[in-house]
Amino acid sequence: MNRQKKERTGLKAFSAMILSIMQKEKSIEYTKVADIIMGMTEGTGDDKNVKRRVYDALNVMCAVNLIKKDKKMAYITDNQMCSCEEEVERRLASLGQAIVSAPKLRERVEEKRRILEETVRRKDLLLRLIKRNSEREIEEKEKLHLPFILISTKKKSRIDCETNDRRSYFKFIFTSPYKIYEDVHILKQIFGDASVRSEVKEHHKGISQSQKENVEAPKKWNPPHEMDRATPGSPLGSSYIFTEDDDWLNLYNFLN
């Protein structure tokens, strides 16, 4: 029963009814198209939904160039083409594939939005840092230039660093566990960024009480969302690679 109802009120069914009307009328007000189809589907008890679906079908048919709309009027584009059922179904199917991909596109847009928000937040941090530093007199030797990363490990750990002539590639090799501190997180900590506080809460949610007791208290400047890199302990058992394509290096290009 539900399947039969879907077949009567689906996009394909409405499109077929609209084409049947358009082939006879050639041009017609699209509100009248909706009224005619509502009369054809009498007894469904859902006139508002039927009317909305008719308008959706009209928009879809415009998108695949089966009909065109001008103000309140709807016109058939090619009566001979529209009489070919295979061509009509092919065009509707092609649009259906695009509609299926719409959720993926929305996900990509949402991801781009998050990236943009983070970039704007980082830009704000850098501008605040510039303003803060302009109000202070600091000797050149005491300055720490951006971009930078801080890497901490045990005092007795052996650290090997490999790079190329352009210094666009760095490979660090450790013999002990180490931690990476990104400059942007340190800036967030300095300026009390709200996202850092939320990161702290989320970070501690996943830590049990026994784990908390065994974790050494961090120093005040340490960013809460640091990256832990545990190693098996062999002389060449741990490494971390940075390249010029890494986010921490490209953050500042938009200010140049």
CA 192 to chain centre: 26
Give residue 116's pLDDT.
92
Q: What is the DSSP code string of 47-105?
A: HHHHHHHHHHHHHHHHHTTSEEEETTEEEES-HHHHT-HHHHHHHHHHHHHHHHHHHHH
Gyration radius of the chain over CA positions: 31
Q: Residue 217: pLDDT band by 50, 70, 90 thresholds?
A: very low
Report pLDDT digits (tens) over 5-40.
444 556 667 777 887 787 777 788 878 888 888 887
- What is the rounded CA–CA span in Å between residue 239 and residue 193? 30
- What is the rounded CA–CA span in Å between residue 19 and residue 50? 16
Report pLDDT digits (tens) over 168-211.
777 888 888 888 878 887 888 888 765 544 544 444 444 444 44
Peptide bond into 147 cis (omega under 30): yes
The ranges assigned to domains in the chain are: 2-99, 149-255
> In terms of pTM, does the model score above 0.75?
no
The yes/no answer on whether domain 2-99 falls in CATH 3.30.450.20 is no
Give residue 208's pLDDT.
44
